Amino acid sequence: MSLMSSPLALTAILCCAACAATQTSRSDTASARLQQLFSEEWEARLADDPLLATAVGRRGAGELPSVRPEGLARRANAAERLLERLGEIDPDRLGGADRVSYAVFRGPREMPFETAADYEAYIARMHAFPDWVEQHVANMRAGLARGMCLPRVVLQGYGGTASAHVVDDPEKSLFYAPFQEFPDSLPASARTRLIADGRAAIENGVVPGHAAFLRFLEDEYVPRTRETLACSELPDGRAYYDWLVRHFTTLEIKPEEVHRIGLEEVARIHSEMQAVIDGTGFEGDFAAFLEFLRTDPRFYAETPEALRRRALPAPDRGRRALVV
């Protein structure tokens, strides 16, 4: 009797096929929901962040993303809703690629200057810069009030970053660079207008915005920053540090365990390096060998050609290894 001639066997096969079809249908449904979620989240992010929209080729308005408390709260609420919706999708119903995307999701291009609209958006953002700075200053003041601030030592010399943009001539500003070269498609009349508008935006937006931020740093923020270093010294710092470890390792692991692993890895690598040193017959300790590597002329190429000869064989060996 053949397999197909048995009614029982045929029924079993039909049941298996139906089960497989159901599983495929469920997988397709879960995948469709995931892709829809990705699409909606992406569009919402582009709408919320004009800089990102520009970076990916969307010609957005000349705006800057809000960092006011209500804007930050809106993003936090949106992220929470997103995770809730993501949690409603069973990753076991997803195919391989979608499952990876799910896990990654759970856990550059420069601004274009090709059209007059691109320049106008850039100019509008420069005009909006002082207000954007004030939003950040308000958040930083709130952080100072809570004791959430940077260590003072890391801000040494930081004022120079802001002062470099406080210029007496717009053409000295780094923000003037796009107006020094235009695409051929822009006529001379448009270039003249955009240059004038750009200069005004730098004078009235970029320069006063950076000047205000510099004053805030020097007069208010830096003097009130903390002299401690560890983030565990912040309010609820230990819990915050534990969260950072989970966030960056993507593991349910404590800082002490990360430290232990680090020490073990350093010891392992040191041991392997020592074995290499011993194999060379070098007479001296570990520190002496490192100094030997840093200072002995034999380890330095004397000409560009010699450097090329030494550097190129390594990729060649790698390619041969990949072929094998």
Q: What percent of the chain has pLDDT over 70?
A: 85
**Is pLDDT at 139 greater than 80 in this prediction?**
yes
Could you tell me if 9 and 3 are in contact, meaning their C-beta atoms sit under 8 angstroms apart?
yes
Task: Please give the Cα distance from 89 to 36 (Å, whole number).
Answer: 12
Nearest CA-CA partner of 74 in 44, 36, 107, 35:
44
pLDDT at 191: 96
pLDDT digits (tens, 9 = 90+) for 163-196: 999 999 999 999 999 999 999 999 999 999 999 9
Enter the pTM of the model: 0.58
Label each residue of the chain as H, E or C: CCHHHCHHHHHHHHHHHHHHHHHHHHHHHHHHHHHHHHHHHHHHHHHHCHHHHHHCCCCCCCCCCCCCHHHHHHHHHHHHHHHHHHHCCCHHHCCHHHHHHHHHHHCCCCCCCCCHHHHHHHHHHHHHHHHHHHHHHHHHHHHHHHCCCCEHHHHCCCHHHHHCCCCCCHHHCHHHHHHHCCCCCCCHHHHHHHHHHHHHHHHHHHHHHHHHHHHHHHHHHHHHCECCCCHHHCCCHHHHHHHHHHHHHCCCCCHHHHHHHHHHHHHHHHHHHHHHHHHHCCCCCHHHHHHHHHHCHHHCCCCHHHHHHHHCHHHHHHHHHHHC
Out of 6-15, 45-54, 76-85, 294-303, pick the least confident: 6-15
Mean pLDDT over 206-225 rounds to 96
Which two structure tokens, joined as six digits, stand for 87? 């949690």
For 182, how many CA atoms within 13 A lie in the half-sphere containing its CB? 19
**Is pLDDT at 118 greater than 80 in this prediction?**
yes
Out of 25-39, 119-133, 213-227, 259-273, pick the least confident: 25-39
140 band by pLDDT with thresholds 50, 70 and 90: very high
pLDDT digits (tens, 9 = 90+) for 77-116: 888 788 788 888 888 888 877 877 777 677 644 577 889 9
- Lookup result for tokens 């119903």: 93
pLDDT digits (tens, 9 = 90+) for 55-69: 777 766 677 888 888
pLDDT at 319: 45
Q: What percent of the chain has pLDDT over 90?
A: 51
pLDDT at 120: 93
pLDDT digits (tens, 9 = 90+) for 248-282: 999 999 999 999 999 999 999 999 999 999 999 99
21 band by pLDDT with thresholds 50, 70 and 90: very low
**Is pLDDT at 15 greater than 60 in this prediction?**
no
Could you tell me if 246 and 253 are in contact, meaning their C-beta atoms sit under 8 angstroms apart?
yes
Q: Which amino acid is at 88?
A: E
Q: Cβ atoms within 10 A of the Cβ of 227, count?
A: 8
pLDDT at 61: 64
Which two structure tokens, joined as six digits, stand for 33? 């929901």
pLDDT at 59: 64
Which two structure tokens, joined as six digits, stand for 122? 């850039």
